[in-house]
Structure 1
Amino acid sequence: MNIGQIYLGVIQERFQAIKELGDRTFAQLAHDQLHWSYNEDSNSIAVIIKHMSGNMVSRWTDFLTTDGEKPTRNRDDEFFDSFTLKEELIAVWEKGWQVFIDTLRGLTEEDLLKVVKIRGAQHTVIEAIERQVAHYAMHVGQIVYIGKQLKGEEWETLSIPKGQSNAFTEAMMKEQK
């Protein structure tokens, strides 16, 4: 296996882990909590979902052949909460991720150094992928943070619980033997 194949495998795993954090957050929240925002200048989870999906569909549809900022995208509309059902939100979330993951899975090592455009600016495929790692991880981090604040003591941690780092590490070390 060569470095390009390894990179594509690693990046797919990383994005799946990022998505899973969002999925596990949504599972803990009620519909009204997905629409909560700190103030009118802040984004709710629903708005973040809408924005991320809009970005994913625009950037990753015909990724290698068209500019990532599609003329059909209405980015400004992504920042208005227009959902009435939790199922709608989840469907939009899944649609964006499906377009994105399908495109990632279709990439080859030879594609990694090809040049794509995003808003007219040229990026190698690797740069475009790495740009999205930062973007999507940041937004999912916001989703998790909002969820954690809303749930308070009822929050089910998505990582190693406080005070359990040593036990977690010991368990991992035993698994590796």
Structure 2
Amino acid sequence: MVLGNEYLKVVEERFQAVKDLGDKTIDQLAEDDHQWSFNEASNSIGVIVKHLSGNMKSRWSDFLTTDGEKPDRNRDQEFENDISSKEDLITTWESGWITLFNTLNGLTVEDLLKHIVIRGEDHTVLEAIERQMAHYAYHIGQIVYIGKQLKGENWRELSIPKGKSEEYLREKLNSASPTNVKNEI
């Protein structure tokens, strides 16, 4: 096993797992839920999606050759709550992820220790990937939290429901062989 290949495989799975949490939250939203925010200082799900998508397009386009903060990115505009429909929300969401996964799928082991620039700061590709993973997980956690608040008792759990940990573990251990047990996020 080449460690770099394993890392690229695992990090792609982790990005997908984080995206899945967002997908499952967005799926539960009513048409206008994405526009709700707690107050003027808070971001709506729509704003967070716009920000994530803008960040992904900027960071992952021409990833190895240009600064990750592209000159045509308008970060401040990402924080305007102007996504008009759930369909537009999903289109915006998916466009960022497509950019990320296309770039990630094109990376090789040799790329991991190359140096790239984000906002003028030098990073190894490995550091840049980890930086983005932390950033995206942070914001998708916000999306999930807002979704849970909006849906209340109608929320469909995305992981192990409260009070069901032992039952979940028993089921996993009874149905899985040691080689195919996957970690939960």
Q: Which residue matches 1:6?
A: 6
Give the letter aligned to residue 2 of structure 1: V
Q: Which residue matches 2:157?
A: 157
Q: Which residue matches 2:130?
A: 130
Mapping of 1:1-177 within 5 angstroms?
1-177=1-177
Q: CA deviation at 1:81?
A: 1.3
Instruction: Return the alpha-carbon distance in structure 2 between the equivalents of residues 34 and 84 of structure 1.
Output: 9
Alignment check: 8 A CA contact 2:32 2:85 kept: no
Give the letter aligned to residue 100 of structure 2: F
User: 5+ residue gaps in structure 2?
Assistant: 178-185
Instruction: Return the alpha-carbon distance in structure 1 between the equivalents of residues 152 and 85 of structure 2.
Output: 23
RMSD of aligned Cα (Å): 0.7
Most deviating of 136-145 and 81-90: 81-90
SS at match of 1:31: coil
Give the letter aligned to residue 115 of structure 1: H
Most deviating of 56-65 and 162-171: 162-171
User: 5+ residue gaps in structure 1?
Assistant: none
SS at match of 2:123: strand
SS at match of 1:122: strand
Q: Percent identity?
A: 62
Give the letter aligned to residue 48 of structure 1: I
Instruction: Return the alpha-carbon distance in structure 2 between the equivalents of residues 77 and 71 of structure 1.
Output: 14
Q: CA deviation at 1:176?
A: 2.6
Instruction: Return the alpha-carbon distance in structure 2 between the equivalents of residues 2 and 171 of structure 1.
Output: 33
TM-score, with structure 1 as normaliser:
0.98
TM-score, with structure 2 as normaliser:
0.94
Q: Deviations over 1:29-57 (max 9, x none)?
A: 11221100000110000000000000000
Aligned residues: 177
Q: CA deviation at 1:74?
A: 0.2
Instruction: Return the alpha-carbon distance in structure 1 between the equivalents of residues 121 and 11 of structure 2.
Output: 23
Instruction: Return the alpha-carbon distance in structure 2 between the equivalents of residues 32 and 85 of structure 1.
Output: 7
